[in-house]
Amino acid sequence: MAVINIVLSELEKKKFGGGQWCVIQYAQGLAERGHDVMILPMLPSPLPEWFPKERRFSYLANDDVTMNAVQSLCNIILRLFKYPFKKNKWLFKEAIHSALLNVGYLKPGLFPFEMWRALSLAYVRQHMRPADVTIATSFETALPVALYGSGKKMYFMQHFEPYFYKEKRGGEVSRKEALASYRLGLHMIANSSWLKGMVQKEVPGVKVDLCLNAINHEYFYGEPKVDCRTDEVVLISYGGRNVEWKGFREMAEAVRIAREQLPKTKLRWQVYGDADLPPDNPIAPYEHLGFLQPKALGDAYRRADILLSASWYESFPLFPLEAMACGLPVITTQPGTEDFAKDGETAIIVEPKNPASIAQGIIRLTTDCELRMKIARQGCQVSRRFTWENSVRTMEQIILNALHAL
């Protein structure tokens, strides 16, 4: 049995990102295999409602940040009355430092980037327990793990994060920190073949293990539809959290083009999650499904006809694979989907940032029933290979091999 710390970015009570959700599946799976696993968010976070109902790992939930701040401030006042300041400067310094941190933890997002970063480092330092393995899961957690982690220090990368500096608080500084995270000496693990190649290109000669993610077949299951309608077709897409690289605007343009070129087809577009355009936008109106939990998302996939995705880049995204498992033919982009999406076999690959190419993918699958059935059938078969049992076993072996090499 290994003692394993996994450091995550801040967690929300109801919403989650795909990378966070995957990391939790590994934590649960490793705990079920007998390891002592703790999830440590890099800043105070509530206990998420989307965690497994029968959680096997421990989690540092900090719902008492207000009380901690009040107690710290009271402590300063008590010491002022109890001890002469000049004779006990170190006591006051210690109390002031504690109070500043606890007040900062109340609303870390209100502080400038540099102070927010310092608070995250301090929080991880305060709460990191001794362990055989400490695992970072993003560039923002890589530095805290390198500085304060114990045992074998690892870095389970979820994407090539230098690409996303515009949506990070530090801007250009975040881009530099993301690039630097690959040079901290952590044992690196990639979640896709594309990501592994990108990191090895960035740091020539570095060793990167590969551990592909998986999907939950309890919720994502089904068979390709036996009927193939061309008069009414339902597309379903992930909204993409309002970030431009998810390609939502390009999808909207593509749907508009496809609707114009298929006047006899009622092309319905359903979108779940937050999107970069409102449902009644003038480009391509859509039906908004809201934020869907896994069970509801599986049901939505099975009611649809085609999954449409047009990200500029991904690193083993779950939603195309989930849709495949539900029997849907998939239109998607590369890079980042190469481990399961083969053009003309398990998916239709279209060019990112190219609405005309994306529209052609929609038109092909809408009008060609034979192709639609073939893609759906072969994609569904491939999706069944990606189980959490296999992925957790791979991750466990990587961890054990790293420990044995010490």
Short-list 291, 269, 264, 292, CA closest to 279: 269
Domain contains 155: yes
Question: Worst-scoring range by mean pLDDT, 61-70, 149-158, 225-234, 350-359?
Answer: 61-70
**Long-range contact set of residues 398-401: C-beta below 8 Å, sequence gap at least 24:** 398/189, 398/209, 398/211, 399/2, 399/4, 399/30, 399/133, 399/152, 399/154, 400/2
Backbone angles phi, psi at 164, to 5 degrees: -110, 20
Establish if 227 belongs to a structural domain: no
Whether residues 172 and 264 fall in one domain: no
Residue 157 belongs to a domain: yes
* 161 and 37 within one domain: yes
Q: Answer yes or no: is 223 within a domain.
A: no
Phi, psi of 381 (to 5 degrees): -65, -45
List the one residue out of 259, 370, 389, 249 whose CA is nearest residue 312: 249
Same domain, 245 and 373: yes
Q: Are residues 255 and 377 in the same domain?
A: yes
pLDDT at position 405, please? 82
Question: What confidence category does residue 84 fall into, taking pLDDT thresholds of 50, 70 and 90?
Answer: low
Sign of the Cα torsion 177, 183, 187, 190 reads positive
Q: Examine the pLDDT at 29 and tell me if it is beyond 60.
A: yes
Residue 59, SS3?
strand
Residue 68, pLDDT > 90, answer no
Q: What is the pLDDT of residues 90-111, one digit of tens each?
A: 555 666 666 667 666 777 788 8
pLDDT at 90: 59
- Portion of the chain with pLDDT greater than 70, in percent: 89
Instruction: With respect to residue 21, please indicate whether it lies within any of the assigned structural domains.
Output: yes
Q: Name the pTM for this structure.
A: 0.90
Looking at residue 61, its pLDDT comes to 79
Same domain (yes/no): 9, 46:
yes
Two structure tokens written together for 59:
């989690």
Judgement on whether residues 113 and 244 belong to the same structural domain of the protein: no
Q: Average pLDDT, whole number, for the chain?
A: 91
| Tens digit of each residue's pLDDT (9 = 90 or more) over 257-300 | 999 999 999 999 999 999 989 999 999 999 999 999 899 999 99
Per-residue pLDDT at 136 exceeds 90: yes
**Whether residue 399 sits in one domain with residue 284:** no
Q: What is the DSSP string of 150-200?
A: -SEEEEEE-S-GGGGGGGSTTTHHHHHHHHHGGGS--EEEESSHHHHHHHH
Residue 351 sits in a domain of what CATH number?
Answer: 3.40.50.2000
Q: What is the pLDDT of residue 60?
A: 84
Same domain assignment for residues 371 and 397: no
| Same domain membership, residue 191 and residue 253 | no
Per the structure, the complete domain to which residue 133 belongs is given by: 3-63+108-214+389-404
Instruction: Give the mean model confidence (pLDDT) for residues 350-375.
Output: 97
Whether residue 329 is found in the same domain as residue 273: yes
Q: Which residue has the tokens 């690409």?
A: 163
Q: How many CB atoms lie within 10 A of CB 340?
A: 22
% of residues, the chain, pLDDT over 90:
76
Number of domains observed in the structure of the chain: 2
Q: Over 70: is that where the pLDDT of 22 sits?
A: yes
